[in-house]
Amino acid sequence: MNLINLFVSGVLSENIVLTKFLGICPFMGTSNKTKDAIGMSLAVTIVTTLSSIITYLLYNYVLVPTNSVYLKTIMFIFVIACMVQILLIIIKNKFKKLYQSLGIYLPLITTNCAVLGITLLNVNSGYSFMQMLVYTLSSCLGFSIVLCIFSSIRENLSEDIPKSFKGYPIAFITAGIMALIFGRLI
């Protein structure tokens, strides 16, 4: 697959959140404020990129040669959990405000289905190292764009919304409209 096509589809038409419905927890949970969405986007991008590189190498140079492919899911979860813990320590010590604003959602990156989904899609699709890197970065960029747009919309929603639609109901309606738009961009 052409790297440019892979990149564009990862960002837009095959957006990990809006078409594969992976990463919904941080999408809904940290999208009330754009500042928090940017912090979560950056954290997820770092974890996903590092995890994808490590799991790609682990899969192709350890699991496949030793005929242990059946261990990929548990090994990938272990790698992701390690990356999250390292990032958690760094953010807690260096970026205290971000750590406080993201709260419980930061350690929950470990259980973010988007991170595991991207790492599994990379190996299941048989991507080369470069394709894996492009797909990972484009998926993270797509996740970040959607999260920031969504948080901006949620911040700007005002009292014009009926009480019964406030909170999650209008968030799900907005997410559905965004999914329709992103799915039709390519």
pLDDT digits 0-9 by tens, 134-172: 999 999 999 999 888 888 887 777 667 788 887 778 888
Q: Specify the pLDDT at position 33.
A: 76
Phi, psi (rounded to 5 degrees) for 20: -105, -10
Q: pLDDT tens digits, residue range 113-139?
A: 889 999 999 999 999 999 999 999 999
Q: Say what the pTM is.
A: 0.84
For residue 150, how many other CB atoms are within 10 A of its CB? 23
Give the number of domains in the chain: 1
Binning pLDDT at 50, 70 and 90, where does residue 181 land? confident
Res. 15: pLDDT tops 90: no
CA distances from residue 156 to 18, 46, 50, 153, 181 in whole angstroms, order as listed: 21, 28, 34, 5, 19
Structure tokens at 60: 């192709």
What average pLDDT does the chain have?
85
Q: Are 152 and 180 in contact (CB under 8 A)?
A: no
Average pLDDT over residues 25-30: 71
Compute the distance between CA of residue 29 and CA of residue 48 in angstroms, rounded to an integer.
19
The token pair that represents 144 in the structure block: 């970040």
Structural domain span for residue 11: 3-183
